[in-house]
Structure 1
């Protein structure tokens, strides 16, 4: 497919938005800050429209480049990347932006979150607990650019966490309590967090006392997930939001998160630590939804799996935490994975 065909679709779309009594060429000339002749040549496909010019037009008319250039049909996709995070201030801003994005969905009927949980979903760590603060520590330890956290222990990190960050975290957690959530877990979903605890304990950056507390926090998360799974509802939800947990043994999880509303779907797929690529293209979102539905058909809904199968799944996670705790207390090598 040539670019001229895509440009023609763009011009036709824009012409439909501009009143007939106004000159379309003058309009484009003003928006792009180019001469009348240059605008005329672009509109009549005698000159190529640059990507920067297309972006300028899209921003001015508040339209989607994905739609205008039909990139979904060309196996080409425009995505939005979230900004990198390197500090506690940046982390708080990240949570604030997330909260503002989710808040409008609270009073919208038919909203659903679908989460492919390679790691414990962030919903369960948005609390004022040590595991929440430890996640902050692990993320920023990895993303640190100036070396200020290279030798910092978790205990030294704790007093640096501003109260406003914890407050924002709790507020974000509250927004999730209003939304229906479907999650895919497997036996390895908890492993990443266990490895993070053991890694910094072994390296001397996490004390035995705090490592033991993190294990207790993990037990509480497992208990909460199990209770929600049985009830098929979010705990403390003010509108009885639904919670469905599928055990998926066939596929590896990806931490991809999809938001579905009656009018639109979008999803976030990981790029780096805490950095995501946002995809809103309808065709691509449709493909992702088909993928998730296929995954459902090859997974086990734990609410209806039976008490035995459900118990085996959650007890296996508890046993992993207990093994980590025992090895920390005995200060011996860990062989969990």
Structure 2
């Protein structure tokens, strides 16, 4: 354990006007002098104290260990989501994790977007309702027989979800897309339409909302200097998110529908950053690309949405099944 590094991580997690010695003393319920001995490295943290501090300051245990030879990485995982209440908690926790990044020097987020980042869906009332419906359909065993027309998310979850979506607008974001990034949402709309859970009217409303989302993103590319959108033609994305602020790093890796593992292991984060940087080098930055190239990219996405609209209309008009 590198105690000096661990103390540095604790310092980053507390307010700038808070004494590190006082914070350690409070967390471990020890005297000021005993805390001073630990912060001055005259005494070492015990294993029990290290675990207590990690829990108290909400630090991943991988903060305690640094080894250039180790193939083991400690991760933190999100809680399972099995109902609407747990989904609301997921949104709350996501907001809590992101809000400290606002305004921080050197803050950077890189999103390898296999799917449209959920933050965009949460800003639109129609897309939010549809996506929450899809997530609960897949995660809540008691949601099996609920139809979309009978479903309305609670006002609490709508408020929390929208707050999370709007927060994304204020962060410096680099996203990497390919033309398949939109496919997951298109498949969900068509699947639930064909399964009879969406009426033709609802399916068309959702596709219209999706078009508005893509239009909003295309406008942000032009107007927002803190937002960078790259188009990668070679690789499929994986929804990994790399976050960097000052001298801290985190990597978020999805392992179920919405849940993810999080690690701040420096070696792992460095490897991920190197890989993402290579992706960026082989991608086209749409912010600085010519208008023709930028429009070509977004037009291809809009054509996919239009194709789905035609398919929905055709299914209702000419249903040979």
TM-score under structure 2 length normalisation: 0.81
- Asked whether the equivalents of residues 182 and 243 of structure 1 are also in contact (C-alpha less than 8 Å), the reply is yes
In terms of Rg, which structure is larger? 1
Partner of 1:208: 200
**Alpha-carbon separation, structure 1, partners of 2:271 and 2:125:** 37
Alpha-carbon contact 1:244-1:303 (below 8 Å) kept: yes
Indicate yes or no: 2:122 matched with 1:126: yes
Matches within 5 A, 1:95-244: 95-145=91-141, 148-158=142-152, 161-231=153-223, 233=224, 242-244=226-228
SS at match of 2:230: strand
Structure 2 CA distance for partners of 1:189 and 1:55, relative to 1, 3 Å: same
Q: Please state whether the residue corresponding to 1:331 is helix, strand or coil.
A: helix
Deviation digits for residues 123-146 of structure 1 (CA, Å, limit 9, x no counterpart): 21122421111111111111113x
Superposition pairs of residues 1-337 of structure 1, within 5 angstroms: 19=37, 28=46, 55=51, 59=55, 65-71=61-67, 73-145=69-141, 148-158=142-152, 161-231=153-223, 233=224, 242-331=226-315
Distance 1:284 1:326, change over 3 A: same
Please say if residues 200 and 316 of structure 2, whose CA atoms lie closer than 8 Å, have aligned partners that are also in contact. no
C-alpha distance in 2 between matches for 1:170 and 1:61: 27
Q: CA deviation at 1:54?
A: 7.2
Tell me, yes or no, if the aligned pair for 1:327 and 1:333 is still in contact at 8 Å.
no
8 Å contact from structure 2 (residues 66, 265) kept in 1 = no
Distance 1:301 1:102, change over 3 A: same
Runs of 4+ in structure 1 deviating by more than 3 angstroms, as ranges, are: 53-65
| Counterpart contact for 1:255–1:269, Cα < 8 Å | yes
Distance 2:220 2:158 in 1: 24
1:84 to partner: Cα distance: 0.7
Secondary structure at the counterpart of residue 109 of structure 2 = strand
CA deviation after TM superposition for structure 1 residue 17, in Å: 7.3
Farther-moved stretch of structure 1 (186-195 vs 149-158): 149-158
Quick one: distance in 1 between partners of 2:59 and 2:99? 23
Calculate the aligned-residue CA RMSD, in Å.
3.1
1:151 positional shift? 1.9
Q: Which residue of 2 aligns with 1:43?
A: none
Kept in 2, the 8 Å contact 1:72–1:284? The answer is no
State the distance in 2 between where 1:127 and 1:168 align. Answer: 11
1:324 CA drift (Å): 0.5
* Cα shift at 1:62: 8.3
Aligned residues: 290
How far the C-alpha of 1:294 sits from its partner, in A, is 0.7
Distance 2:170 2:271 in 1: 26
> Is 1:114–1:181's contact at 8 Å kept on the other side of the alignment?
yes
Tell me how far 1:109 sits from its aligned partner: 2.6
The answer to whether the Cα contact below 8 Å between 1:66 and 1:72 also exists between their aligned partners in 2 is no
